[in-house]
Every structure is written in C-alpha cells, then in structure tokens.
Amino acid sequence: MIVINIDVMLARRKMSVTELSERVGITLANMSLLKNGKIKAVRLSTLDALCAALDCTPGDLLEYRSDNAD
Amino acid sequence: MIVINIDVMLARRKMSVTELSERVGITLANMSLLKNGKIKAVRLSTLDALCAALDCTPGDLLEYRSDNAD
DNA sequence: AAAAATTTATCGTAAAACGATAAATTTTTT
DNA sequence: AAAAAATTTATCGTTTTACGATAAATTTTT
C-alpha cells in the first residue's frame, strides 16, 4: 500500500495544515483529506506544489509498504 | 515539475514495457503514456502496483525538479 | 524486409479531484 | 471549564482525468 506522509513533513517544518493549504493553493478541506490518505489519486500538479511548499521530494511524501513490511 | 522515471527503473530491471503493463494490470497503451509522462495524475493503486512490479519506491518513480534545478 | 515492440490517437465510461460550503470534532488558548 | 482556533468530515456539483478497448503510426529489433 501507499502511505502519505504529509503529516511527517508538516511536523518537520513546524507548519500547519492551514498554511500548507494556502501555499499549495487547494482548500483546507481537501488538504485535510489529502493528508489523511482519504484520496485515491494525486495530480502531479498537486504533488509538485506540495514538494515546493514543503521543500521535499515525492519520496518524502509517498511511501510504499509491501503487505508484510514492518 | 514532477518527472516520471519508470524508464529508468525498467532499464535497471531489464524489463520491457509490455511485461510491466502485464504485471501492473493496465493496458500497454496506458503504460506507455504513464512512462512518458503524458498523464496528469496517478492513482495510488497504480503507483502501488508499479512499486510492487518494479520492486522500488515512489521516490524511485517520481522525481521533483524545481525550476532552476540541474 | 519482416516482425515485434512501443507510441500515439480516438472514443466512451467510470472514477475521482477539487471548489464551495457547512457542520462536527478535536486541539489550543484563556 | 469555557471560548476560540484549527482540523476533520460530509455533501453537492463540476470538471478533469484515468483507464479500457481498439487501431494506426512509428520505432526498434531480428
């Protein structure tokens, strides 16, 4: 499965969800859904904006966990 | 911008696009579009299948390049 | 030159992002 | 404990886009 680690990056940056949503340019409600893995796809434009806002890589935000991984 | 590096991983694995499309379970045509960055969004289920098929991470497949990066 | 693999294109359908908005819930502050 | 602020969840509507199916065009390999 794919895990979204926006919360981890927010913590590292000491940034709020509200601020991130403003920087990325999507509504607070949608950013919350995104952060909590309540979405089934991501637009590359959104991923791009997230990387820019959080100064990180797609690999920082998206993690692959195989079924029997720790 | 976000760059897709499926081609890099295919080369590393010595795997063909045809085989990858079969493993991932999407049509050859769509895999080609995906590989060549002709898509604007990715379903997490597809990303998941790609990571499994290529035994790699999302970070291996998706790369962020800031405007003035090399 | 022929065959195989890959890319590109078109059409249709289903899925899903995303905005706007509001209500519910949780967290923080006073 | 109460109030305020932040976050989460939900609903509705619109637009975008993945993806299948298919076929044609192009490129690569044999």
Does the beta carbon of B55 lie under 8 angstroms from any beta carbon of chain A? no
Residues 32-51 of B with CB under 8 A from A: 39-45, 47-48, 51
Q: Is the CB of A41 under 7 A from strand C?
A: yes
Closest CA to B44 of A25, A70, A58: A58
Report whether pLDDT(B69) > 60: no
DSSP character at residue A2: E
Q: Angle B23-A70-A68 (CA atoms, 0-180°, nearest 5)?
A: 40
Average pLDDT over residues B32-55: 96
C-alpha B67: how far from its chain's center? 21
Q: What confidence score (pLDDT) does residue A68 get?
A: 66
Whole-number pLDDT of residue A62: 96
Residue A66 pLDDT class (50, 70, 90 cuts): confident
Helices (H), A1-70: 6-13, 17-24, 28-35, 44-54, 58-61
Mean pLDDT, residues B14-24: 96
Domains along chain B with CATH numbers: 2-64 (1.10.260.40)
Q: How does residue B25 score in pLDDT terms, banded at 50, 70 and 90?
A: very high
Helices (H), B1-70: 6-13, 17-24, 28-35, 44-54, 58-61
pLDDT value at residue A69 = 53
pTM (two decimals): 0.92
Task: Give me the residue from A2, A41, A57 closest to B64, CB to CB.
Answer: A57
